[in-house]
Structure 1
């Protein structure tokens, strides 16, 4: 009997996807926060040799994550989307009318593109599927609108991609098959719902879904569930990359930051452990005699008869604690630097105006990534136009005036953004700016914060005085 080929498994990841997916569990845990990191257990927080299981469990249960990776992804995503996506004049009116609910889930194009960018920055690959429900029996535009028949965008997350086939046509690579993992929701009983995993296979002009079926012997296998036609003769999917390695293959732009964040998680756990040890001194006794009753506490005394009797507390010297604290600060600085590097304009041009004029040279990495997102949205709009019978979908523009000339400037800007987002305290921000030489080393951080607060209070008082003077003399609070 012939052995079934791995290529016959519709739910299996291709070799190219497996290559990308090896990093995703680590990134998923970092993006999931402390709870997800604890669930990862020994995979990301090793149990040391000779460490008792109960001790390890306590260490794991008390570990907390410094969320540098997730915060950096969020802050960087916020830069290009700090201003609305600009819709080009060449976008047809029929498509423009769909952009306020581009995914049939209430998100407009700006929010959809922001989520797309967030996924590409964190995991390195995602995509846009342009879907359209079947229009059975629809003959006119009015009937189409009445039934809600319209194309829409679907955000295909990185872990939904199982594999693909592609071929080169002219200068372009074209998908001839794409497999996606989905989760279909079905009614369960009178009130409940259940989620059924299924694989969708897309081919030019056709789609097929596969679900698990159980035979009489109780064995499960994937089999065809439903199929249908696509009204355009191509696979309606556009990939979006973090860092593009090749067609349909991307990498997380800040993978090294992810590894450093895991190192910080492990080192911080050690630091917490040694702090616990240092805070609990050990009572040392010498030659007090076995007959001496040991009572420790206020108002108690011990009478020892031994010639060399002694009793004292032994405490940790604290040198290792300080070394650990400095190591954590060094890791945090390295992580901020990696995030800031995506904002630094590469040598060649120093201004965004020069960058636009000369196109590729002088762009920062985040600007290049945003160009990729822009291009993907334009291609998706073209697919939408084909569903609607329009000649083209038009173009959009995403804000890109955020490149900086130096790493110090980028690092400072990232700190300001994190403080504005609530990820850093005012004091930490000023201390970090002092350490980078942006502020004078003579600045007293606490005094500066108090002075700033006093100025804010004075400004508020002046505004209230001006408002009171402008109030009509006979005015009252009554309506």
Structure 2
């Protein structure tokens, strides 16, 4: 079957199930409730109304999303070193996406999405220059570009939005020759309104097309609304991988954690039902005429006819404990699954370029991912350099030393224990944290005490 411009490729469709799973987990409790029976099946004898009530009470233990957040925090607890970035680009990366985000913020989002889904892309682009030249021949000068504030920029392309691609072998190298990216644009709607339209951007070496969805896609095909040439000969798309399985294909390195988190979501719902049942006492009476009226209370004695009996049905506390233990075991498994990214292994290695040798050192999976992000950022810088007409974009240094962070955390914990033992004062611990770079040197002890005493936490009154 011939694909239309908006049709996802088979490779894209094959990964939809994993993306849906991760979308729901990253979206939290609200997103998990929204997909309903997909991840919280309805019991065979459970009526729809009872299921809705159970679903409305279900809550997600955010193991997956918190692992992504915490691992991203480890990589970016120290800012990206930009000393070796080309001087001509240092101003550009202060607002690298033209949305006000600098390189660190942009790269953190890139890494976070790439870690969660296995990959994420960055597209390097340049504003349209038609009609901006001051020359009769239409050639854009440096003065024209400066006057119009034209410069290269990057934008994230989530794995959801790269809906198709074609790779060919050229000079024995796998080369991307076409990419289709789904995007939305805001356009004017009448004199005062605006509306969103769906588009697909088609990129090929040296050229691009933009196709737009018609208002009624049942009656019309997508329309070509823009096309043109680019000043570089390759497709300016850079992919960061955390779990590469092939070119532009990947599996999330946290996929097993995702499945464990779904299992916890389901068992937590069962546990909640078990706890509710254990808290409710159901009084029953047997051997009594069905029309007989009886009443009972804590202060009264009930007389029953011969052969009749009364009792209480209540859920077993033991069953509640079994469920609680099962959830705790699952939480331990999830912590272990996430922590594996920090385990150093000879399977995840890197060349020590700084030592200018061929030495190979042990590295954690997270460290290898940080190095992969560093390489991807360097590719973005190089493409930006090409757009600017300079030879070398330079190099950005991404933190991959997580031992230092662990040592720092251990040091803070040690200071806390010394304060608790009244061996040192809180002010001494505060100053020591400043000396070690744990907190900013600009913080003042007296000012912080006033904030604490006023009941303000992180600048928000409580």
TM score, norm. by length of structure 1? 0.80
- CA-CA distance at 1:347 after TM superposition: 4.1
Question: Aligned with 1:73: secondary structure?
Answer: helix
TM-superposed CA distance for 1:224, in Å, is 1.4
What aligned pairs does 1:43-58 form with structure 2 within 5 A after superposition? Answer: 43-58=38-53
The answer to whether 1:121 aligns with 2:120 is no
Gaps of 5+ in 1: 405-409, 421-429, 431-448, 468-479
Change (3 A) 1:221 1:79: same
Hey, what does 1:97 align to over in structure 2?
91
For 2:426 and 2:222, the matched residues in 1 are separated by 69
CA distance in 1: counterparts of 2:227 and 2:299, whole angstroms: 85
Task: Select which of 449, 459, 463 maps to 2:426.
Answer: 459
Correspondence for 1:268: 268
Distance in 1, matches of 2:38 and 2:268, equals 16
Q: Name the CA shift for 1:281/1:457 in 2 (closer, same or farther; >3 Å).
A: farther
Partner of 1:471: none
Change (3 A) 1:349 1:22: closer
SS of match in other structure, 1:61: helix
For 1:109, which of 85, 103, 110 is the aligned residue? 103
Compute the displacement of 1:167 (Å).
Answer: 2.2
CA distance in 2, matches of 1:362, 1:273: 47
Q: Quick one: distance in 2 between partners of 1:348 and 1:23?
A: 25
What does 1:30-69 correspond to in 2, within 5 Å?
30-69=25-64
Residue matched to 2:362: 362
Q: Distance in 1 between matches of 2:192 and 2:325?
A: 56
Q: Which moved more, 1:332-341 or 1:228-237?
A: 228-237
In the alignment, which residue of structure 2 is the partner of 1:227?
Answer: 227
Instruction: Name whichever of 44-53 and 69-78 sits farther off.
Output: 44-53
- Distance in 1 between the 2:159 and 2:346 partners? 32
Q: Counterparts of 1:249 and 1:351 in 2: how far apart (Å)?
A: 22
C-alpha contact 2:126 2:152 (8 A) present in aligned 1: yes
- Say if 2:418 and 2:424, in contact at 8 Å, map to a contact too: no
Q: Does 1:130 align with 2:124?
A: yes
Q: Which residue of structure 1 lines up, in the alignment, with residue 454 of structure 2?
A: none
Instruction: Give the corresponding residue for 2:137.
Output: none
Name the counterpart of 2:70: 75
Point out the more displaced range, 275-284 or 221-230.
221-230
Render the CA deviation track for 1:184-223: whole Å, top value 9, x for unaligned. 11123444321111000011111101112368x9613223
Q: Give the Å deviation of 1:29.
A: 0.1
Moved more, 366-375 or 169-178: 169-178
**Mapped contact 1:344–1:364 kept (Cα < 8 A):** yes
- Say if 2:197 is the partner of 1:196: yes
1:6 aligns with 2:7: no
- Give 1:295 deviation, angstroms: 2.3
Separation of aligned partners in 2, 1:458 and 1:289: 76
For 1:332, the equivalent position in structure 2 comes to 331
CA 1:100–1:354: 2 relative to 1, 3 Å: closer
Question: What is the root-mean-square deviation in Å for CA atoms of aligned residues?
Answer: 3.3
Contact 1:355 1:363 in 2 (8 A): no
Structure 2 gap ranges (5+): 134-139, 431-444, 447-462
Normalised TM-score (structure 2): 0.83
State the 1:288 CA deviation: 4.3
**462 and 355 in structure 1: CA distance in 2 versus 1, 3 angstrom threshold:** closer
1:180 aligns with 2:174: no
Supply the distance in 2 between the matched residues of 1:347 and 1:72 (Cα, whole angstroms): 23
Alpha carbons of structure 1 residues 100 and 461: separation in structure 2 relative to 1, 3 Å: closer
Describe the SS at the equivalent of 1:207: strand
Paired residue for 2:19? 24
Q: What secondary structure is seen at the aligned counterpart in 2 of 1:232?
A: coil
Residue of structure 2 equivalent to 1:346: 345
Quote the Cα distance in structure 2 between the aligned partners of 1:27 and 1:110: 24
1:231-270 deviation line (CA, Å, top 9, x unaligned)? 1122111111121111111111110000000000000000
In structure 2, the residue matched to 1:205 is: 206
Report the Cα offset of residue 45 of structure 1: 0.4
CA contact (8 A) 1:14 1:163 kept: yes
